[in-house]
Structure 1
Amino acid sequence: MTSLSEKQKMVQGLEYFSSDKQLHQDRERAKQLCQQFNASAIDKRKASRAIIKTLFEAGAGAWIEPPFFCDYGYNISVGKQFYANHGLVILDAAKVTFGDNVMIAPGVLISTATHPLDHLKRNKGIETAHPISVGNNVWIGMGAKILDGITIGDNAVIAAGAVVNKDVPANTVVAGVPAGVIKHL
Structure 2
Amino acid sequence: MTEKEKMLAGKLYKAFGEELLGERQHAKEILFEFNALRPSEIDQRNALIKPLLGRTGAKFFIEPPFRCDYGYNISIGENFYSNYNFTVLDCNTVTIGDNVLIGPNVSIFAAGHPAHYELRVEEYEYAYPVTIGNNVWIGGGAIINPGVTIGDNTIIGSGSAVTKDIPANVIAVGNPCRVIREITEDDKGQYDHK
Give your verdict on TM over 0.5. Answer: yes
The gaps in structure 2 that reach 5 residues or longer are 184-194
Question: Structure 1 residue 62: deviation in Å?
Answer: 0.8
Q: Say which of 117, 120, 131 aligns to 2:129.
A: 131
TM-score, scaled to structure 1:
0.97
Show the counterpart of 1:5. Answer: 2
Q: How does 1:131-170 map to 2 (within 5 A)?
A: 131-170=129-168
**Partner SS for 2:41:** helix
Query: Which stretch shows the higher mean deviation, 132-141 or 12-21?
Result: 12-21
Q: How does 1:1-185 map to 2 (within 5 A)?
A: 4-56=1-53, 57-185=55-183
The gaps in structure 1 that reach 5 residues or longer are none
Moved over 2 A (4+): none
**Deviations, residues 9-60 of structure 1 (Å, cap 9, x unaligned):** 1011111001111100000011111111101122221110011102102111
TM-score, scaled to structure 2:
0.93
Aligned residues, how many? 182
Over aligned residue pairs, what C-alpha RMSD do you find? Answer: 0.6
Q: CA–CA distance in 2 between the matches of 1:44 and 1:143?
A: 26
Letter of the structure 2 residue corresponding to residue 163 of structure 1: A
Q: CA–CA distance in 2 between the matches of 1:184 and 1:76?
A: 28
Q: What percent of counterpart residues are identical?
A: 46
